């Protein structure tokens, strides 16, 4: 074997696949061993670069900022979802009160609104599940209550849409969820009773069953 | 006993969003170092850290336990850092872009080991800053994050050969500048 190239020495240093022949050569050849030691010295020295240090609280600050931004984005999506649901209520009501609906158009509208409702509902149920789980785990958290108020307003629109489009099963789930959200939005912070009610009502389980069945989670 | 990353991820997926805070606290400093090495800028690195963890939080269900969480979030951070640098490059003068003149070793190495180490640190920072974005990112992921070349290629959307060449060119440039100084450090250590 000829002497090995610098590229091969770099691959050997990093233990990339296919370096066995290079390793054997370096062990046997003094000139290549010297070259390899130079590569080792260089790359071992690379950790000396001065990176500005972050203090011990850095992670907490990052998380505070990330969680706030995540909440804003979730809220924005929920608002979008609620607007979509409101629009659907309008469409559904329009078709239900129309005096001479043509059958194919109604069927098509029902199908389309059903699909859009499913998509918007996915985000709503996921947000509700997160909030209720948080309340069950940390009953004293004020943020959960505030979110529950937002969710409650959205939930009413989704329930009305489900009712108007004849999705009975979804409507029933949203009715149960609404009852829980009303209690959450008005219960005192840290209510142990509230946690028990959520668990007893089984709404978390119902959401889980539905989202698993629909492939949402 | 300290909770594993995998257990924390499981809690996040099952609805306990605060469990993600544990992952952020555990990995944010290493992600910052990675981001700083690619962006060469403290405030850009801070921005990258936040964006990387936000994306990781939103896409936590896509996490596959074949890679460690640190590797996964590191990959996200590397891509965020690339975006940030590319954006920044549109607004800087061409003098700072790749292909700038190599750093000259302008003073003779002194005998003091601490001063040499400090000088080497400065040279590393400066030379890293003068690598092309692709060279710097590929080298950082291989050297500092320990990512195999095959993985880097996939994450950066490059061929394996292009990734290797980027790393080789980075090493060549670093060697050109740091070679003499590395020798000095070794000699100094031997005589102490």
Mean pLDDT rounded to a whole number for chain B: 79
Whether the per-residue pLDDT at B139 is higher than 90: the answer is: yes
ipTM over 0.85: no
Tell me which of A76-80, A156-160, A168-172 is least confident: A76-80
**CA A82, A84, B61 angle in degrees (round to 5)?**
70
**A122-154 pLDDT tens trace:** 778 877 887 777 777 766 555 556 667 778 888
What is residue B98's predicted lDDT score, i.e. its pLDDT?
43
What is residue A70's predicted lDDT score, i.e. its pLDDT?
77
Residue by residue, DSSP assigns A37-87 as: HHHHHHHHHGGGS-PPPP-TTHHHHHHHHHHHHHHHHHHHHHHHHHHHHHH
What is residue A44's predicted lDDT score, i.e. its pLDDT?
86
C-alpha B178/C-alpha B128 separation (Å) is: 11
Cβ–Cβ of A134/B16 closer than 8 Å? yes
Q: Note the residue count of chain B.
A: 192
What is residue B83's predicted lDDT score, i.e. its pLDDT?
87
CB A111 within 8 A of CB A184: no
User: Which residue of chain A has the CA closest to B114?
Assistant: A48
Residue by residue, DSSP assigns A185-197 as: HHSPTT-HHHHHH
What is residue B100's predicted lDDT score, i.e. its pLDDT?
38
Average pLDDT over residues B78-102: 62
Cβ–Cβ of B143/A133 closer than 8 Å? no
**A25-66 pLDDT tens trace:** 999 999 999 899 888 888 888 877 778 889 889 999 999 988
CB A26 within 8 A of CB A33: yes
What is residue A212's predicted lDDT score, i.e. its pLDDT?
66
CB B175 within 8 A of CB B161: no
What is residue B59's predicted lDDT score, i.e. its pLDDT?
86
* Chain-centroid distance, C-alpha B28: 13
What is residue B186's predicted lDDT score, i.e. its pLDDT?
37
Looking at per-residue pLDDT, the higher value among B92 and A91 belongs to A91
User: Which residue of chain A has the CA closest to B61?
Assistant: A217
What is residue B97's predicted lDDT score, i.e. its pLDDT?
41
CA pseudo-torsion sign B179, B181, B184, B190? negative
pTM over 0.90: no
Cβ–Cβ of A42/B32 closer than 8 Å? no
Q: How confident is the model at residue A81 (pLDDT cuts 50, 70, 90)?
A: low
C-alpha A106/C-alpha A113 separation (Å) is: 10
C-alpha A75/C-alpha A13 separation (Å) is: 49
Q: Is A166 left (phi over 0), alpha (psi -120 to 50) or beta?
A: left
CB A42 within 8 A of CB A49: no
Average pLDDT over residues B76-99: 68
* Chain A hits for B124, Cβ within 8 Å: 45-46, 48-50
Tell me which of A154-163, B12-21, B145-154 is least confident: A154-163
What is residue A138's predicted lDDT score, i.e. its pLDDT?
67
Average pLDDT over residues A149-176: 82
Mean pLDDT rounded to a whole number for chain A: 76
C-alpha B174/C-alpha B123 separation (Å) is: 9
- Compute the nearest-CA separation of A110 from chain B (Å): 32
Tokens of B171: 């090493």
> Which of A62-76, A187-201, B46-60 has the largest mean confidence?
B46-60
What is residue B105's predicted lDDT score, i.e. its pLDDT?
31
Q: Round to the nearest angstrom and report the end-to-end CA distance of chain A.
A: 56
Q: How confident is the model at residue B21 (pLDDT cuts 50, 70, 90)?
A: very high
What is residue A110's predicted lDDT score, i.e. its pLDDT?
56
* Chain A hits for B186, Cβ within 8 Å: 41
Percent of chain A's residues with pLDDT above 90:
16
A contact set with B (CB within 8 A)? 6-7, 10-11, 14, 16-17, 38-39, 41-43, 45-46, 48-52, 54, 58-60, 62-63, 65-67, 69-70, 73, 129-130, 133-134, 137-138, 217
* Chain-centroid distance, C-alpha B168: 16
CB A10 within 8 A of CB B168: yes
Average pLDDT over residues B50-70: 86
DSSP code at position B67: S
Average pLDDT over residues B39-50: 91
Whether the per-residue pLDDT at B24 is higher than 80: the answer is: yes
């Amino acid at each position: 074997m000829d002497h090995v190239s610098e590229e091969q020495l770099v691959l050997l240093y990093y233990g990339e696949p296919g370096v066995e022949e290079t390793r054997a050569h370096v062990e046997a050849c003094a000139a290549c061993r010297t070259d390899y030691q130079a590569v080792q010295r260089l790359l071992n020295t690379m950790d000396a670069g001065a990176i500005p240090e972050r203090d011990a609280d850095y992670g907490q600050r990052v998380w505070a900022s990330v969680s706030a931004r995540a909440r804003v984005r979730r809220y924005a999506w929920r608002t979008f979802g609620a607007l979509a649901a409101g629009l659907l209520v309008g469409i559904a009501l329009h078709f239900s009160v129309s005096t001479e609906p043509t059958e194919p158009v109604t069927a098509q509208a029902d199908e389309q609104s059903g699909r859009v409702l499913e998509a918007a509902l996915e985000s709503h149920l996921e947000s509700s599940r997160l909030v209720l789980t948080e309340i069950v785990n940390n009953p004293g958290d004020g943020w959960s209550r505030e979110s529950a108020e937002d969710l409650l307003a959205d939930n009413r629109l989704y329930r009305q849409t489900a009712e108007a489009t004849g999705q009975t099963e979804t409507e029933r789930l949203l009715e149960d969820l609404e009852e829980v959200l009303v209690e959450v939005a008005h219960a005192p912070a840290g209510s142990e009773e509230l946690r028990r009610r959520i668990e007893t009502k089984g709404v978390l389980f119902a959401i889980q069953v539905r989202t698993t069945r629909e492939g949402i989670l | 006993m300290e909770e594993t990353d995998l257990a924390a991820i499981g809690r996040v997926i099952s609805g306990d969003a605060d469990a993600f805070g544990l992952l952020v606290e555990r990995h944010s400093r290493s992600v910052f170092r990675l981001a700083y090495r690619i962006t060469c800028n403290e405030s850009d690195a801070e921005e990258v850290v936040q964006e990387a963890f936000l994306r990781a939080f939103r896409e936590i269900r896509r996490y596959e336990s074949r890679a460690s969480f640190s590797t996964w979030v590191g990959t996200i951070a590397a891509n965020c850092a690339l975006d940030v640098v590319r954006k920044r490059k549109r607004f800087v003068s061409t003098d700072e872009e790749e292909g700038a003149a190599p750093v000259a070793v302008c003073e003779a190495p002194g005998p003091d080991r601490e001063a040499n180490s400090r000088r080497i640190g400065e040279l590393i920072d400066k030379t890293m800053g003068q690598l092309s974005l692709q060279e710097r990112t590929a080298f950082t992921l291989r050297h500092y994050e320990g990512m195999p070349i095959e993985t880097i290629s996939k994450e950066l959307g490059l061929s394996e050969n292009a990734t290797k060449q980027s790393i080789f060119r980075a090493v060549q440039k670093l060697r050109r500048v740091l070679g003499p100084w590395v020798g000095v450090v070794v000699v100094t250590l031997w005589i102490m």
